Structure formats: structure tokens, C-alpha cells
């Protein structure tokens, strides 16, 4: 396929993802070894190819969920070893899932995405077998500068945990005051430290589940098990009911204190902290950019900004070492980072207020996604480069 045709296909795929059919939270999927999981996923992709060739895809929406679950069953084994290929799989799989969930299927787009996904998985399978290009954990762990960087990052994470509790206390106070404007602003500010250190927070899955789960995991918005940030978001921005948000704000503060304690008791190894940069950027450009997480508040740009700030914190701690290993890569990251920050700031102000992402022109949404992807691509090369 010619390069310009590929760009057209990916542009169409980006539009599909931004239409709101991106990844959503799912129930826990049983984990399987890479060999088994990748073979199952490739088999499903081959089956989809046969159906696409016949222009007749059966139960496309169920197939989208199936592909997501199959990838989820072994993706955690891929992420730390091959972050660059992990990102590449997500680049094609996420829009493929979105395209399969459309009422009217776009067969050329589906075919191109499915073909690219199969090629990436083939590359990943070969790399896994040969251990070619894998992040060398021993090299990173033995590096004195990277050990010092990891210590600094541990302090950064703990500082963010402390900020989280402070801002959740302010949210609780604002909700109790009954002032919906203050409560909305406090909600947005409290999201920031959580999103800056999301890869660390997600390791505490039980707490993360009660603090940040989306309504998709529950019966409906009134489900008593639906708590945390997004229950409060729904009550403040949809129901405009500050009073009903009180018990949820109080509980979120208590859960935030537990998260703070869990973070304080954790020591993040050099390899893990460096790998976090890819997770933050993958989340930002494939999931957060759809607007699904902040669907009621419209605070998508601030949340993405926090993800980028978290990635920048990691980059800033290792950029001296990165420049020694690959000056061109360092320069590309630096320039792409500046471009993304400038774009975000043009779309929404920094601070307690923001512009509703859903009301922005789709062209601007697509432009931000493209720039986030252009930043993510060099960033995910960082762990492998630092381990050489």
C-alpha cells in the first residue's frame, strides 16, 4: 500500500476513535502466557481477514470486544519488554476495534488496519522468540545515573500522592459547601496528580477500581458500586446535584489517603519508572483522546495534559543519559513535547477551568491526537535506547 493511502486509512481510523468508540474499561481478563495469547489473537485476525475478503463480518461488535480481551490477556507481558512494539500494536488494534463497532462497516479501513496489525504481531512474535530488541533490564538496573533518577522519581510520585490527598480534601470541602462552580473546579484540579502518576496508581488495582472506574463497568449511573471520581463527575456535571455528591466525595478522600499510603510504601525500580513513559502516552493518545473518560465534564485536555506532564517528569530525569545514547532521539522527543504542550494550551487554559473537549472542532481533536502520537513514538523508544 502506498504511503499516502496509509495516511488516508489512518486518518479515517483516527476519526472513528475520536467519535467515541475508543477503548473503555473492561472486567478482569484471565492472563495467559505470550505464546498462547498471541496465537489466539492471530487466529482471530486471520478469521477476520477471511470475513473481510468476503465483505461479510459476523457479529462485528462482539468481535471487537473479543479482540480487546485477547490482547488484554497477554499485553502485560509485552509492555515492559517491547514497549515500542506494544505501542505499535495499540496503534492499529484500537482503531480496528472502533471501526468494528460502527453501524456501517468501512471495509477498506478495516482491511488496512487488520493487515497492519497482523504484520505487527508477526514482528512481535519473532522478536519475542529471539529476544531481539527487548529492553535489557540488567543494564538499566546497573546504571548509577538511572538509579539516582529512579530515586528522584520515587520522590516525585510520593509528592503527587500528597497533592492528591490535599486536592481531594479541597474537593470534599467544595462539595460540602454546596457551591457547584467551586466543586466542579475542585474536581478538575483533583484529577491532575492522579493522572500524572497513573501507571503507578494502576498497580493498586483494587483502589484504582473504586476511585477511577467508568460507568461502563456497572449497571448504570445509579449503581451503588459506581463510586469515585466519575460518580462525582456525573452528579456535578450531568445531574448538577452537589448534595448527592457529598458521600462520594467523602469516600474518595478516604480512598485517596489509602492510595497515598500505598504509594509511600512502594519503591519503583529504574526499569519500571522508565517504562511508565510509554504507558502514559499510550493512554493519552489512544484512550483519553476519545473523550470517553471525561465524557460528562469535558475535561479531556487537562487530563491529557496531566498524562503528558507525568511523561515529561520521567523524560526530564533521564534526558542527560538519553542524549549520551542517542542525541537525535532526545532532540525529537524535546521538540515533539514542546509542540504538544503548545497545542494543548491553545485548546484549553491551564488552571481550574477548561474548554469542553467535545465542543472543539473535530479537526482540532484529530490534530491533537496526531501530535500526541508523534510524541509517543519516540518516547516509547526510550527504555530500549537506555538499556543499550
pLDDT score recorded for residue 329: 97
Q: What is the pLDDT of residue 191?
A: 98
Say yes or no to pLDDT of 27 above 80. no
List of residues 6+ apart from 119 with CB closer than 8 A: none
C-alpha cell at position 85 = 512494539
pLDDT score of 15 more than 70: no
Confidence of residue 34 (pLDDT cuts 50, 70, 90): very high
Q: Please answer whether residues 385 and 322 qualify as being in contact, where contact means their C-beta atoms are separated by less than 8 angstroms.
A: yes
All three cell numbers of 382: 526510550
- Structure-model confidence comparison of residues 4 and 374, the more confident one: 374
Neighbours of 195 (CB within 10 A): 24
CA dihedral sign of residues 78, 277, 200, 25: negative
Q: What is the pLDDT of residue 132?
A: 83
- Cell readout for 338 is 514542546
pLDDT in tens, 47-103: 999 999 999 999 999 999 999 999 999 998 998 899 999 999 998 998 999 999 999
Res 287: pLDDT: 79
Mean pLDDT for 131-137 is 89
240 sits in the region (left: phi over 0; alpha: psi -120 to 50; else beta) called left
**pTM higher than 0.85:** yes
The predicted model gives 307-331 an average pLDDT of 96
CA 155 to chain centre: 23
* Cα 157 to Cα 160, 167, 198, 260, 346, distances in angstroms: 5, 15, 10, 10, 28
Please indicate whether residue 16 or residue 224 has the higher confidence score (pLDDT): 224
Confidence band, pLDDT 50/70/90 cuts, at residue 17: low
Mean pLDDT over each residue of the chain, to the nearest integer = 92
Say what percent of the chain tops pLDDT 70.
93
- Average pLDDT estimate for 130-142: 91
Distances in Å between the Cα of 374 and the Cα atoms of 4, 23, 108, 178, 212 are: 17, 20, 24, 43, 27
Residue 188 C-alpha cell reads as 478538575
Contact 105, 99 (CB under 8 A): yes
For residue 242, pLDDT beyond 70: yes
Query: Is-contact 29 108, C-beta < 8 A?
Result: no
Q: How far is CA 207 from the centre of its chain?
A: 18
pLDDT for 14: 57
Half-sphere exposure (CA, 13 Å, Cβ side) for 277?
Answer: 28
For the chain, percent of residues with pLDDT exceeding 90: 82
Residue 6 confidence class, pLDDT cut points 50, 70, 90: very low
Query: How far is residue 121's CA from residue 138's CA, in Å, rounded to a whole number?
Result: 26
pLDDT level of residue 4 (50, 70, 90 thresholds) = very low
pLDDT of 21 strictly over 50? no
Residue found by looking up cell 484504582 in the block: 208
CA of 128: how far to CAs of 67, 71, 86, in Å? Answer: 20, 15, 12
pLDDT of residue 42: 97
pLDDT bucket at 3, cuts 50 / 70 / 90? very low
Q: What is the DSSP string of 126-149?
A: HHHHHTTT---HHHHHH-HHHHHH
What is the DSSP track for 243-265?
Answer: HHHHHHHHHHHHHHHHHHHHHHT
Task: Please report which confidence band the pLDDT of residue 7 belongs to, taking 50, 70 and 90 as the band edges.
Answer: very low
Over range 228-233, report the average pLDDT: 98
Amino acid at each position: 500500500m502506498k504511503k499516502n493511502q496509509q495516511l488516508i486509512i489512518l486518518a479515517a481510523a483516527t476519526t472513528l476513535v475520536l467519535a467515541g468508540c475508543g477503548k473503555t474499561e473492561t472486567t478482569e481478563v484471565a492472563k495467559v502466557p505470550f505464546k498462547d495469547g498471541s496465537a489466539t489473537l492471530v487466529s482471530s485476525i486471520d478469521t477476520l481477514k477471511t470475513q473481510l475478503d468476503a465483505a461479510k463480518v459476523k457479529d462485528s461488535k462482539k468481535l471487537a470486544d473479543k479482540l480487546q480481551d485477547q490482547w488484554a490477556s497477554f499485553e502485560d507481558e509485552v509492555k515492559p519488554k517491547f514497549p515500542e512494539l506494544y505501542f505499535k500494536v495499540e496503534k492499529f488494534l484500537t482503531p480496528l476495534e472502533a471501526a468494528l463497532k460502527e453501524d456501517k462497516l468501512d471495509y477498506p479501513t478495516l482491511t488496512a488496519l487488520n493487515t497492519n496489525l497482523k504484520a505487527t504481531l508477526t514482528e512481535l512474535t519473532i522478536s519475542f522468540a529471539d529476544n531481539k530488541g527487548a529492553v535489557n533490564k540488567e543494564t538499566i538496573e546497573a546504571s548509577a545515573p538511572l538509579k539516582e533518577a529512579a530515586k528522584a522519581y520515587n520522590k516525585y510520585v510520593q509528592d503527587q500522592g500528597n497533592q492528591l490527598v490535599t486536592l481531594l480534601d479541597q474537593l470534599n470541602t467544595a462539595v460540602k459547601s454546596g457551591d457547584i462552580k467551586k466543586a466542579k473546579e475542585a474536581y478538575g484540579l483533583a484529577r491532575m496528580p492522579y493522572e500524572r502518576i497513573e501507571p503507578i496508581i494502576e498497580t493498586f488495582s483494587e483502589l484504582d477500581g473504586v476511585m477511577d472506574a467508568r460507568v461502563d463497568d456497572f449497571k448504570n449511573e445509579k449503581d451503588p458500586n459506581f463510586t469515585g471520581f466519575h460518580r462525582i463527575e456525573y452528579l456535578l456535571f450531568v445531574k448538577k446535584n452537589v448534595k448527592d455528591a457529598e458521600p462520594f466525595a467523602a469516600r474518595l478522600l478516604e480512598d485517596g489517603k489509602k492510595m497515598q499510603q500505598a504509594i509511600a510504601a512502594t519503591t519503583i525500580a529504574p526499569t519500571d519508572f522508565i517504562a511508565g513513559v510509554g504507558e502514559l502516552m499510550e493512554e493519552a493518545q489512544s484512550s483519553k483522546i476519545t473523550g470517553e473518560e471525561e465524557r460528562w465534564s469535558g475535561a479531556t485536555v487537562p487530563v491529557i495534559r496531566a498524562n503528558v506532564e507525568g511523561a515529561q517528569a520521567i523524560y526530564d530525569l533521564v534526558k542527560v543519559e538519553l542524549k549520551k545514547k542517542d542525541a537525535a532521539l532526545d532532540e525529537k522527543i524535546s521538540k515533539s513535547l514542546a509542540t504538544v504542550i503548545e497545542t494543548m494550551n491553545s485548546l484549553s487554559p491551564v488552571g481550574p477551568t477548561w474548554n469542553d473537549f467535545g465542543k472543539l472542532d473535530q479537526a482540532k481533536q484529530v490534530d491533537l491526537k496526531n501530535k500526541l502520537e508523534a510524541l509517543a513514538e519516540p518516547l516509547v523508544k526510550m527504555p530500549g535506547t537506555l538499556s543499550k
